[in-house]
Amino acid sequence: MACTHKILEQHQVRPPPSSVPTTSLPLTFFDIPLLASDGVRCLYFYEFSHHFTQTVLPTLANSLSLTLQHFFPLVGNLICPPPPAKPYIFYTQGDSIPLTIAESTATFDHLTGYHPRHVKDFSHLVPKFPPTQMSNDTFVFPLLAIQVTLFPNSGICVAVTCRHVIDGRIGSLFMKSWASIFKAGGHDSSCLDNSLRPFYDRDVIKDPNGVMAVFLEEYFVRMRSKWKKDIGNADVFSGNDNVKATYVLNRANIESLKQRCEKDNESSSTPQHFSSFVITCAFIWVCRMRTQYHEGAIDDDDELCYLAFPADCRNRLEFPVPLTYFGNCLASCKAAAKTSELVGEKGFVVAAKVVARAISKLKSKPLEGADKWMEDRKNLIGKGHGRVLIVGGSPSFRDYQTDFGWGRPKKFEFINHPIFISLADCRDDEGALEVGVVLRTRASMDTFSSIFEQALNLPY
């Protein structure tokens, strides 16, 4: 998609002077496995037909500064010194994040559509981190970058790139806080109630089984070595021509699919709960597996294939963790089934059962096997394209409720790799789910779309 793109302004935004003290924030065992991630990229598109006034941009920057006062660790850096020192987040007064204001002539309706588009079409909208620094064998990683792109007479894209030192719940909380302060005029943050203010006390996270020590060993040996090889080279858009599309399962679709599972499960001695999450993930997993199988990318019927997904543990642990806890609080969960089972006639029901079973086990023992999370992640990613699907995002984050005063986003997008799918709520259909799917070619996406439609319309 040919377009022109120009940078209008570049700012360094920091919390208000003297509003936040110099702070060192230790990481927990929930954080260490996610340090390998190259960051999370989210785009919020808003329709905005009139000209951007000279007051809007200053208010955006000022409201962002006020928001960063409450989310100040994101202004700092991830400090990763050599062993035996542990990694930590460090904020000091004067730290700032880049805010880029740009203008694009790309077609707004194309970028905000649900149809297949090349992932590279979004590249000019996504902010890049400032360069990673390395000194005396210590890595210094910036944590946050933001870009606001104007589409004249069409809309605005607010894009965020964030290191995975926080999970999606806190990322969504940050955006809603910024939107609330801006919408209230951008002069102070008194509009934020406690549900939008992060909780920083790391002592609420307990590690009775010594998982941190296991993770640190992996971090010192493997993760740091990989960083030394890859420093300066991470770019989700480089060297690929991936295609992204969004698929919607509405309430009627989900209910119909749920009935298929419940009908098959009627005679079971162990009834299972088929939530909207289970139904959606299982259905997309099977459609993707059938796409890969149809194209010959998978040819071993007996090989195990995996669906991996994170689960928020804030309300599942023996020790209480506030919903606004700042950091990661995610358990690693996976479901597995043979290729032949997933591509077979009852593939969807099989997938739903193994996903439901994995969630049931997680609810009763969320930290069981936690010492294997990093090893499992490495092994799963090493299995290659097609055999593993990882779920990101959540409809519970209610991303379409992020309102700066311009109304709900016209479209919310994750930018990710083909190994991932992303889940979000739906803009205009309460109870519906949007699923972002990335595949390597347009032909693969066409095959996936055909399989998706056929499978959705099967009688149960």
CA proximity to 32, closest of 189, 309, 275, 217: 217
Q: Around Cβ 331, how many Cβ atoms within 10 Å?
A: 20
Q: What is the three-class DSSP state of 224?
A: helix
Query: Residue 403 catalytic?
Result: yes
Question: Residue 394: in which H helix or E strand, if any?
Answer: none
Cα(362)–Cα(215) distance, rounded to whole angstroms?
A: 20
C-beta of residue 174 within 8 angstroms of C-beta of residue 327: no
Q: Find tokens 């005063």 and name the residue.
A: 405
Residue by residue, what is the 3-state secondary structure of 421-445?
A: EEEEECCCCCCCEEEEEEECCHHHH
What is the CB neighbour count within 10 angstroms for residue 210? 10
CA distances from 411 to 41, 64, 224, 408 (A): 14, 21, 37, 9
CA angle 414, 241, 301 (to 5 degrees): 85
Determine which helix (DSSP H) or strand (DSSP E) holds 35, and give its type and residue range.
none
Of 102, 99, 95, 65, the residue nearest 178 (C-alpha): 65
Catalytic position from the list 11, 70, 124, 164: 164
The pairing of beta strand 133-135 with beta strand 138-142: antiparallel
Return the residue matching tokens 């803009």.
427
Give burial (CB, 10 Å; 0-12/13-18/19+) of 134: middle
Side chain identity, residue 4:
T
Q: Tokens 């210590």: give the residue.
A: 138
| Pairing relationship of beta strands 420-425 and 388-393 according to DSSP bridges | parallel
Instruction: Catalytic residue, from 264, 403, 429, 446: name it.
Output: 403
From edge to edge, which strands make up the β-sheet containing 411-414?
5-13, 97-104, 144-151, 155-162, 40-47, 411-414
Distance CA 56, CA 43 (A): 19
Closest among 385, 354, 400 to 248, alpha carbons compared: 400
Residue 336 burial (10 A CB sphere; 0-12, 13-18, 19+): middle
Q: What does DSSP say about strands 388-393 and 304-312: parallel, antiparallel, or unpaired?
A: parallel
Look up 428 and say whether it is catalytic.
no
Query: Which residues are tagged catalytic?
Result: 164, 403
